[in-house]
Structure 1
């Protein structure tokens, strides 16, 4: 504890928000224009004049540009749930043209269905009524940039605060995140969480937004990690979907019911059940953080998961479910080779 406090004396703490767009020392709360101008008209400067920004349709905004070396240590954001799949979060390291993080906003914070669920984990925390927090440590040597891109057709307010430290960074592994969707998964096919990438690093997290398109149990599929030259068969092979997320026996508790849970490293916080009118398929959100058990690789990595349920006579049934995945990892390179642009159709929550 004492050594950590001693180290912290060599850090400079800064924070970027709409009340201090640059994070500069002594520049917070000086706004004379902003979304709170009318509300603060009787109070004047220093009284919450600029608490948020307006995200215009089909536009992108640079939330932060930080000169290093340093580490992003905490991010808080919030906006209306309607836009959580139509807002893309991108993070760039060291002045690269390609982002290392390129993920829909809601999925990044474990809310993949445009519906909030409280998450009480170590690196991701979601609080009432839509306060999105991440504590993934994000080091950089020269520069960090955070952008949001809107695919929405209307404007909406967006609130954020990015807390970081300026300090020496001895060894830099770059925080990266990748999103993928199969809607639906091909019959007897698999969902790819991460196509093969040739790089060194360590894998730290999985989030799945899973819609079940069949009756019956759906979570027999195995997750497979192909590491450092693996071809047909993986080095790490799970024993079932609920097993990988730390549950067992269909997440069933009490009898005949799904039991949601959210812990430091794993959880099934979201169980969206059909209503009596318009909703049909059941939807789930689940996470697994490899913080205490990171999966390391020195050459390459690829990850898949099966969509698998039960058929008659005790046989497995390949499923054609709607699966979206977000994976989190630290890589040696500042740009992520799989980054890409999104369109509204592939992101749509139906």
Structure 2
């Protein structure tokens, strides 16, 4: 059965059964929404969120019996407490399909929604949307055959007062044999190694298609930082890739250094941020708030109309190359990334997620 994913099939009748999980209806049970009582009385917004999420705790947001498809995830949380503005890196989102032991998704909460550096910014794309004041939305379809489990772990030093979420999904009679599973993986290097490409993802084994990249890039050196090419090594590529771009800002649809003044001795206005359905540069922070931070950038590229298909394996990298208006040069920055893809199961285990102190932004 093909499940509905967009406007192209919205007119077709379906055997899907719509369900939704929230803190108030954690099982997505039929007729079980809106029952909790508050000071306003019965069925009046009695449990809209998870309260007082403890440091070191793991909350199970959803456990769903399949077959089914998660269609939409909405979440929000305050991104700062008395312990500091690291909440979006301290919360780790994990997803498991069909009773697997290793997660298919393991990403800090903010980065999953293209809000890296533990900083909020608005994103207006097709699969990821972030709207004021920190409403995180994901529309990547996430099919599962037997069951789905979604958890969130808090490594923040103090309680998270309130965590809001809603997971909208459909139960379906069956899934076609060629339906692939959603995956997302986070990585970081601080700093990167000179003359060695940063690895966005590798050790993907199986058949599938790569659908997106998010980059949270901290520029540790002077001058323009984004000359590096994004490369996709497909099905046995070794030294040279099958797909190689022309530059980092080009990969996300931009040009001419986003008009970044750091790339020239001339004077330009600040770079212009943008957010579009399939590519964007939604965050530019020049570090001029008096705290001595290096400039930070956030970029995304969705391969939705143009997925990168692989039959056996895939590796994706990006170079760190800059220029100073006179010549290109090798550079070293601090980069975090999220890779998004679909593939057949089983998948290879992910590298161990760095501990909290290694995830905190510079």
Indicate the TM-score class for this superposition, using the shorter chain for normalisation. over 0.9
Range 168-177 or range 247-256, more displaced: 247-256
Q: Quote the offset at 1:280 in angstroms.
A: 3.1
What are the superposed Cα offsets for residues 192-249 of structure 1, whole Å, 9 maximum, x if unpaired? 0012322110000000000001111111001110000100000000110011010000
**Distance in 2 separating the partners of 1:327 and 1:159:** 25
Residue 211 in structure 1 maps to residue 218 in structure 2: yes
Aligned length: 340
Residue 50 in structure 1 maps to residue 30 in structure 2: no
What are the superposed Cα offsets for residues 56-81 of structure 1, whole Å, 9 maximum, x if unpaired? 11100110001111100000000111
Tell me the residue number matched to 2:66.
Answer: 68
Counterpart of 1:250 in 2: which secondary structure?
helix
Tell me the residue number matched to 1:178.
Answer: 185
Whether the 8 Å CA contact 1:73–1:164 is kept in 2: the answer is: yes
Counterpart of 1:169 in 2: which secondary structure?
coil
Alignment of structure 1 residues 92-241 onto 2, 5 Å? 92-156=96-160, 157-167=162-172, 168-170=174-176, 171-241=178-248
Residue 297 in structure 1 maps to residue 310 in structure 2: yes
**Distance in 1 separating the partners of 2:29 and 2:36:** 13
Range 252-261 or range 301-310, more displaced: 252-261
Counterpart of 1:246 in 2: which secondary structure?
coil
Whether the 8 Å CA contact 1:92–1:334 is kept in 2: the answer is: no
Give structure 1 stretches of 5+ with no counterpart.
33-39
Whether the 8 Å CA contact 2:206–2:347 is kept in 1: the answer is: no
**Distance in 1 separating the partners of 2:43 and 2:64:** 24
**Distance in 2 separating the partners of 1:301 and 1:187:** 23
Tell me the residue number matched to 1:264.
Answer: 277
Counterpart of 2:250 in 1: which secondary structure?
helix
**Distance in 1 separating the partners of 2:351 and 2:182:** 13
Give structure 2 stretches of 5+ with no counterpart.
1-6, 81-86, 262-267
Q: Quote the offset at 1:114 in angstroms.
A: 1.5
**Distance in 1 separating the partners of 2:276 and 2:97:** 30
Distance change in 2, residues 1:161/1:336 (3 Å): farther
Tell me the residue number matched to 1:344.
Answer: 356
**Distance in 2 separating the partners of 1:3 and 1:282:** 44
TM-score (norm 1): 0.93
What are the superposed Cα offsets for residues 277-303 of structure 1, whole Å, 9 maximum, x if unpaired? 213311000000000000000011001
Q: Quote the offset at 1:107 in angstroms.
A: 0.2
Whether the 8 Å CA contact 1:62–1:145 is kept in 2: the answer is: yes
**Distance in 1 separating the partners of 2:130 and 2:346:** 27
Candidates 11, 16, 32, aligned match of 1:5: 11
Distance change in 2, residues 1:2/1:348 (3 Å): closer
Q: Quote the offset at 1:31 in angstroms.
A: 2.5
Candidates 25, 28, 37, aligned match of 2:30: 25
Backbone CA RMSD of aligned residues? 1.7
Whether the 8 Å CA contact 2:122–2:129 is kept in 1: the answer is: yes
**Distance in 2 separating the partners of 1:174 and 1:142:** 12
**Distance in 1 separating the partners of 2:352 and 2:63:** 21
Distance change in 2, residues 1:93/1:2 (3 Å): closer
**Distance in 1 separating the partners of 2:243 and 2:259:** 26
Counterpart of 1:107 in 2: which secondary structure?
helix
Q: Quote the offset at 1:4 in angstroms.
A: 3.9
